[in-house]
Amino acid sequence: MSKISNVRLPNAAQQGYSAEQFDQLVRSLEQVIFQLNNTYTPVVSEDRAGANSWFLSGTSGGFAGGIRGPQISNGIALPYATLVSDVDQSSAGITSENIVTYTSVSPANGIKVVDNSKIYVPCAGQYLVVFSFQVANHSTSAAEVEVWAKDTGTNVALSNRRFDIPARKSSTIWSHVVPAVSFIFTTNDPSTNYLQWAWWSDNADVYLEHYAAGTSPTRPAVPSVLLTISFVSAV
């Protein structure tokens, strides 16, 4: 704030009441009030417009590598996405890994999928990933299924989960399991790091299977893959 030009205020009287000193104080206060009402203009020490623009948008820099203050009328808009697949995904064989793919990314804010499988986030931080697979076994034998995370093409240590799936019920009715897993994905360089999910089965007749919408009663389609990812913390 700017300084207000003013004469030196009088010292307190050494003894008792001094009408002269009181009058000097009144005159000094009158000068201050006059300046405030007529001539005082504060020095702008901050670019308020620029600060507001920076605070209300997250295009670069800022908190958590791009996340800033209230970006929408009802709060902060953090990165998030829902990823689904509405097609069957088959096994490449009992000695091969299978990379999970997606056919839709919606709704989403800042998170994208490249090559149908690589999940890129917009800023450094930690992201909560929750997914479920609709696993179907077409075989007459029980099977094992494993699911794990890959960070920029490299397997993430201790991220694997194993599930058992029974043999099919009949020649037209498969058996099913729905593995559900939560995971924290951490990235310091979102320009190069990406997240993938891989799966494997010891039975080539195991699929990630989708189902069309049903009738009687009307019910939605079943995706083969359903994954959500959302920003939870800066690093």
Structural domain spans, the chain = 78-233
Extract the tokens encoding 136: 């179907």
- pLDDT class of 63 with cuts at 50, 70, 90: very low
Max Cα separation, the chain? 110
User: What are the pLDDT digits (tens) for 38-52?
Assistant: 776 666 656 677 666
Q: If you compute the radius of gyration of the chain from its CA atoms, what whole number of angstroms results?
A: 32
Question: How many Å apart are CA 166 and CA 176, to the nearest integer?
Answer: 8
Question: How many Å apart are CA 148 and CA 146, to the nearest integer?
Answer: 7
Burial 33-71 (b: 16+ CB within 10 A, else e): eeeeeeeeeeeeeeeeeeeeebeeebeeeeebbbbbeee
- Average pLDDT over all residues of the chain: 86
Question: How many Å apart are CA 206 and CA 88, to the nearest integer?
Answer: 11
- pLDDT class of 5 with cuts at 50, 70, 90: low
- What DSSP character marks residue 13? P
161-165 vs 143-151, strand pairing mode: antiparallel
69, pLDDT greater than 50: yes
Extract the tokens encoding 66: 């791009």
Question: Over pLDDT 90: what percentage of the chain?
Answer: 64
CATH topology of domain 78-233: Jelly Rolls (2.60.120)
pLDDT at 62: 43
Residue with tokens 């009307």: 218
Among the ranges given (21-35, 104-118, 119-133), the one the predictor scored with the smallest mean pLDDT: 21-35
Extract the tokens encoding 211: 């189902």
Q: How many CA atoms lie within 13 A of 115 on its CB side?
A: 10
Beta bridge partner(s), residue 86: none
